[in-house]
Amino acid sequence: MSTMQPRTIHGVGLGPGSQDLMSVRADRLIRQASHVAYFRKKGRTGHARSIVDGMLAPDVIELPMEYPVTTEIPFHDPRYNALLADFYATSVARLAEIAETGGDVVVLCEGDPFFYGSFMHLYARLQGRVPVAVVPGITGMSAAWTATGQPVTWGDDIMTVLMGTLPEATLAEHMTKTDALVVMKIGRNLDKVGRALARAGRVDEAWLIEYAAMPQERVLPFRDAGDSAPYFSILLVHGQGRRP
């Protein structure tokens, strides 16, 4: 009696948000998949799912993975990690069962799957259980600095990537030490990031890029950002290092 070999689960990087910035491999896997999974907030379509609109096979089975509501629980509270760990464990069990019974599974990943993405948590838990592969994608920050029309690093420039969720003092410390700078997860952290930039003396060097590579893309000096920024916003400071 033959034993069915499980199929590979693919974490597919979609890039920054435009279908024509996906890789050929990503496009092929998405169009051929029998099962497509993606993360989303409860009651939302999900940004990853929106990116692939019109690409999926007519008979595809969609597997939305809805994040648990954690807005009222601080990051440092043990309940936060416990809730997310249970969510990832449940998602992995569901995906692995499909792969073990011969289904093709593609997990849609915004940007690159291994760059601050939720897929990493599935990948770690799938190891040794079923085959899993990753298709890299263009990161949102790459699309952001391309949108400014300026190189982000020259020569020996040091580039630092920060999350806007970090404490203000930590942000300011790293902003002061680096040449080129990327800050992600701006959104509700806009004011704090702005204060950190001011402490580092770098406000006049900074740019805010909203919805990079998307139809509503907007590029503006950070000092003109106003009082709010959308979730899909990235702050940049370009390096000015060695060049011929």
Q: Tell me: the pLDDT tens digits for 119-141? A: 999 999 999 999 999 999 999 99
Per-residue pLDDT, 2: 46
The b/e string for 138-168 (b: 16+ C-beta within 10 A; e otherwise) is: bbbbbbbbbbeeeebeeeebebebbebebee
Q: For the residues 195-216, what does the mean pLDDT come to?
A: 97
In the predicted model, is pLDDT for residue 153 greater than 60? yes
pLDDT given at position 79: 84
Q: What is the pLDDT of residues 96-118, one digit of tens each?
A: 999 999 999 999 999 999 999 99
> Residue 1's pLDDT is what?
39
Residue 69 has a pLDDT of: 72
- Across 13-26, average pLDDT: 97
Q: How far is CA 218 from the centre of its chain?
A: 19
What's the mean per-residue pLDDT of the chain?
94
- Confidence band (pLDDT; 50, 70, 90) for 150? very high
Q: Which residues in 73-110 are b (16+ Cβ under 10 Å) and which e?
A: beeeeeeeeeebeebbeebbeebbebbeeebbbbbbbb
Task: Tell whether the model's pLDDT for residue 70 goes beyond 60.
Answer: yes
Q: Going from the N-terminus, what domains does the chain have, and what CATH number goes with each?
A: 9-135 (3.40.1010.10), 140-237 (3.30.950.10)
What pLDDT is recorded for position 43?
87
